Amino acid sequence: SEWNEPRTISVLGATGSIGSSTLDLVRRHPEAFRVEALTAGGNVEQLAALAREFGARYAAVADPDRYAALKEALADTDIAVGAGDQALVEAADRPAEWVMAAIVGSAGLAPALAAIRRGVTVALANKETLVCAGELVMNEVARHGATLLPVDSEHNAIFQVLDGERRSDVSRLILTASGGPFRQTSREVLERATPEQAVAHPNWSMGAKISVDSATMMNKGLELIEAHHLFQIPEERIDVLVHPQSIIHSMVAYRDGSTLAQLGLPDMRTPIAHTLAWPGRMAGPVEHADLASIGQLTFEAPDDARFPALGLAREALRRAGRAPTMLNAANEVAVQAFLDGEIGFLGVPETVEAVLDRCGIGPIAGLDDVEEADREARALTRSLARRARASA
């Protein structure tokens, strides 16, 4: 029949860039969706306003000190509230058929896993989850029959292009990269790059952490690891290609000589709409890329000398075990130290490399191993950043 029940959805990280884009789409289709749970890191005012607007049944804030404020902000509603890590997991546990995992960093792992373990559809924006616990997450997806839909534009592009193709016919994945704000910046100037310059991305508007990752190109390194887990393709068959216009979001090369690409303007509402409507399509607000007016799509190889982060991620993926977990945690801490003005821009990959050099080998058998490797890397990174500052 034409008549469909609204789809019940939850948005983890509702106040962020991806969360806002997701809710923008939901706002345009009020008949199609019902919101179950929304979460935020600490912004209680924005979370409460969204929970009201969308008629959510549950709102959770990560910061436990914000519980009273959230409760008070929603006191005149019947929206249930929670605070702290356990409340984020409860939000993911609530009965939604579709969950957007858009918390930033490894803080998003436990809630994402909780949604996966309900066997529902999880739209995954939070790439750090797959970097720090890729095998574990993919095993849980298979074990619980969950559907994992990649939101990251590159992986969403590959997912669309792989649709119906046999994995054994794939020769290579080609991840495109904009090159970020410093694509043409010399090493001498990078040395003095400020947080303000680093977060000013030429094509995409994003949260601060991923914007710095784009500037160092660690973002593409994290995405390489993400692609490896999502699509089960070995590291040596995943290429990175700089494409400054960000129109081609990624490509798949097949063994018969064909290369297939997905194109669109750089607006995350396109891949998010794809995951909201999958396996169908929905009307979206983004115009098609007008190629005649864009005129040229250009490509270049990444510069490993100015952007060592990509090589560090490849190295971590080859070493496997706890290395990618530590790479991710070291990067999260180093990016925050850079944003706080404690280390320089080039100090970010340097610190990550120093942590990788010291991290030793070891398997990741369960969440405990992830947490231990994550904690160890964070402590090591903080002490290296302190030392760097002291000698500066």
Instruction: Provide the annotated binding site for NADPH.
Output: 15-18, 41, 43, 126, 128, 207
Question: Quick check: 128 binds Mg ion (CB under 5 A)?
Answer: no
Q: Which is nearer to Mg ion, 223 or 376 (CB)?
A: 223
Which one, of 264, 270, 262, 271, lies nearest residue 289 by Cα? Answer: 264
211 Cβ contact list (under 8 Å, min separation 6): 198, 199, 200, 201, 204
Name which position in 37, 141, 251, 268 contacts ligand NAD (CB under 6 A).
Answer: 268
User: In whole angstroms, how close is the CB of 208 to Mg ion at the nearest point?
Assistant: 15
Sheet containing strand 80-83, strands side by side = 80-83, 58-61, 33-40, 7-12, 98-101, 121-124, 147-150
Helix axes 309-319, 218-231, angle to 10 degrees: 30
Give the residues across from 58 on adjacent strands: 37, 80
267 scored as a contact of Mg ion (CB under 5 A): no
84 or 362: whose CB is closer to ligand NAD?
A: 84
Q: Which is nearer to ligand NAD, 213 or 376 (by Cβ)?
A: 213
Question: Please, where are the H alpha helices in the chain?
Answer: 17-28, 44-54, 67-73, 85-93, 109-116, 127-144, 153-162, 187-191, 195-198, 208-216, 218-231, 269-277, 291-294, 309-319, 323-339, 347-358, 367-391
Say how many C-beta atoms besides its own lie within 10 A of residue 117's C-beta. 15
CB of 21 to Mg ion, least distance (A): 13
Q: Total residues contacting Mg ion (rule CB under 5 A)?
A: 3
Residues pairing with 9 in the sheet: 35, 98
- State which H helix or E strand residue 242 sits in: strand 238-242
Question: Which does residue 17 touch among Mg ion, ligand NAD, none (CB within 5 to 8 A, set by kind)?
Answer: ligand NAD
By CB under 6 A, how many residues form the interface with ligand NAD?
A: 27
Tell whether residue 152 is a contact of ligand NAD (CB under 6 A). yes
Is 369 in contact with 362 (CB distance < 8 Å)?
A: yes
Q: Which stretch binds ligand NAD (CB under 6 A): 51-59, 124-132, 227-235, 241-249?
A: 124-132
- Considering only the stretches 202-210, 238-246, 307-315, 356-364, report the one whose residues sit in contact with ligand NAD under the rule CB under 6 A: 202-210
Q: Give the residue nearest to ligand NAD (CB).
A: 16
**Token duo for residue 182:** 């410093």
Q: Is 16 in the site for ligand NAD (CB under 6 A)?
A: yes
CB-nearer residue toward ligand NAD: 8 or 106: 106
Nearest residue (CB) to ligand NAD, 14 versus 334: 14
The answer to whether 364 touches 135, Cβ cutoff 8 Å, is yes
Which residues participate in the annotated binding site? 15-18, 41, 43, 126-128, 152-154, 178, 201, 207, 214, 219-220, 223
Say whether residue 41 binds ligand NAD (CB under 6 A).
yes
Q: How many CA atoms lie within 13 A of 312 on its CB side?
A: 30
* Residues that constitute the known binding site for Mn(2+): 152, 154, 223
Residue 59's DSSP bridge partners are 38, 81
Which tokens in the block code for residue 79? 């929206």
123 CB neighbour count, 10 Å cutoff: 28
**Binding residue for ligand NAD, selected from 8, 9, 10, 19, defined by CB under 6 A:** 19
Structure tokens that stand for 30 in this block: 């009020």
Q: How far is the CB of 152 from Mg ion (least distance, A)?
A: 4
Q: Does 17 bind ligand NAD (CB under 6 A)?
A: yes
Q: Is 160 in the site for ligand NAD (CB under 6 A)?
A: no
Residue 90 sits in the site that holds Mg ion (CB under 5 A): no
Closest CA to 331 of 54, 43, 128: 128
Question: Which amino acid appears at position 356 of this protein?
Answer: L
Within residues 153-172, the interface with Mg ion by CB under 5 A covers 153-154
Q: How far is the CB of 159 from ligand NAD (least distance, A)?
A: 13
CB nearer to ligand NAD: pick between 217 and 388: 217
The nearest distance, CB 211 to ligand NAD, in angstroms, is 8
Contact pick of 87, 125, 162, 310 for ligand NAD (by CB under 6 A): 125
What is the binding site for ligand NAD (CB under 6 A)?
13-19, 40-41, 43, 62, 88, 102-104, 107, 125-128, 152, 204, 206-207, 209-210, 268
